[in-house]
Structure 1
Amino acid sequence: MRVGFLFVLMLAGGAACAADAPTSMQAMQPLLGSWHCDGVFPASGKKIASTIRFDTDLGGAGLLKHHDDIAPNTYRAVEAWTYDAKGRQFNAAIVDSFGGARRFSSAGWEGDTLTWTSAPEVQPAQKFVYARTADGTLRVDWQVQRNGSFAVGDTLTCKRE
């Protein structure tokens, strides 16, 4: 698990100031724990189900997310999130079961929405949009840029386990 955080620190170019990171990462506390998600690929209408789990690490200065699709889908990913106090942004690195390694950044929560935007080298450009809802669910939309605009590639609605 700690390998993922070393990867983030390497990609982020030095990442967080230890004194500021735990306070900033506290914004992610509502995500902690395990979630069961059901969703769809809008373009095809094909259903998808996943489990995701958020855990703190690095003494509160980071967060690990495990994403596992439920068969027949096979996507699996580990994400490492940290806060860069100097850059005043959150950074994430995602490594997945298809051999992918992608970097993302976020300004943090804006109301109940957290948007991760891919680094310039990620092509096509991508976003992950997390939305907390009044009923306690979490919606996660993966968006991909097509023909100059973003389209939802898949959407999940998650309930805490």
Structure 2
Amino acid sequence: MKKIFLIVLLILTIFPDLYAQKASRQPAKVAELIAQFRGEWSCKGAFTKDNRPLEASITFTPAMEGKALEYEHKDLPPNSFHALGLWNVDSASNTLTYTFVSTLKGSKEANSRYFVGNVKDTKTLVLTADTLAAAPFRENRYVYEIKSKDEFKYQWQVYADGIWNTGDYLNCRKTL
């Protein structure tokens, strides 16, 4: 899994302009917004289709001398989603990018994904799936909304029939 993640990061380092063309420009202070996520978070929410409960732990750790945030998301049993990634502001385009590797219970391989960030305002960050070598299974995005210095809301959304639909959500509280 680490090998795949490093290959993806290498591709993005060598060819950053491939993705910068599609990305919307970000405000100069985007690094300050993502810094608000640093720490450990305990999250509770649900899958919206059937209101099945969902709990996760999410950790954001400064990486690369503070130039990036390492991200780890682990669903708690009975769910099995697990993702590792990096949030980084690309210096050439001033665009937030998110590269991650994820697994689900029963998966034989890890899946790599690449997301391009869009800061809606000083409290809302939207990370929309972009392509690496193949399109994502469907158009999807993550929405992070800061509620306070100790709380944020996370939503995974899928685009269908001309609208964004929430597949699951988590309300997160800082624990460390």
TM-score of the aligned structures, taking structure 1 as reference length: 0.84
SS at match of 1:60: coil
How far the C-alpha of 1:146 sits from its partner, in A, is 2.0
SS at match of 1:44: coil
8 Å Cα contact 1:25-1:60 kept in structure 2: no
Once the two structures are overlaid, the 10-residue window that deviates more, 69-78 or 98-107, is 98-107
8 Å Cα contact 2:33-2:123 kept in structure 1: no
Q: Report the AA paired with residue 64 of structure 2.
A: L
TM-score of the aligned structures, taking structure 2 as reference length: 0.78
Partner of 1:113: 124
Partner of 2:26: none
Partner of 1:70: 76
- Structure 1, gaps ≥5 residues long: 16-22
How far the C-alpha of 1:38 sits from its partner, in A, is 0.1
What RMSD over aligned residues (CA atoms) do the two structures have, in Å? Answer: 2.4
Query: CA 1:49–1:62 in 2, change beyond 3 Å: closer, same or farther?
Result: same
- Structure 2, gaps ≥5 residues long: 17-28, 105-109
8 Å Cα contact 1:34-1:54 kept in structure 2: yes
Q: Report the AA paired with residue 10 of structure 1.
A: I
Query: CA 1:12–1:39 in 2, change beyond 3 Å: closer, same or farther?
Result: farther
8 Å Cα contact 2:33-2:122 kept in structure 1: no
User: 2:9, 2:98 → 1: CA distance?
Assistant: 6
Q: How does 1:135-150 map to 2 (within 5 A)?
A: 136-150=150-164
8 Å Cα contact 2:30-2:119 kept in structure 1: no
User: 1:24, 1:90 → 2: CA distance?
Assistant: 8
Q: Is residue 29 of structure 1 aligned with residue 43 of structure 2?
A: no
Q: How does 1:1-161 map to 2 (within 5 A)?
A: 4=5, 7-11=8-12, 13-15=14-16, 25-98=31-104, 99-108=110-119, 110-120=121-131, 121-134=135-148, 136-161=150-175
Q: Report the AA paired with residue 81 of structure 1.
A: W
How far the C-alpha of 1:143 sits from its partner, in A, is 0.3
User: 2:62, 2:170 → 1: CA distance?
Assistant: 22
How far the C-alpha of 1:9 sits from its partner, in A, is 4.5
Partner of 2:20: none
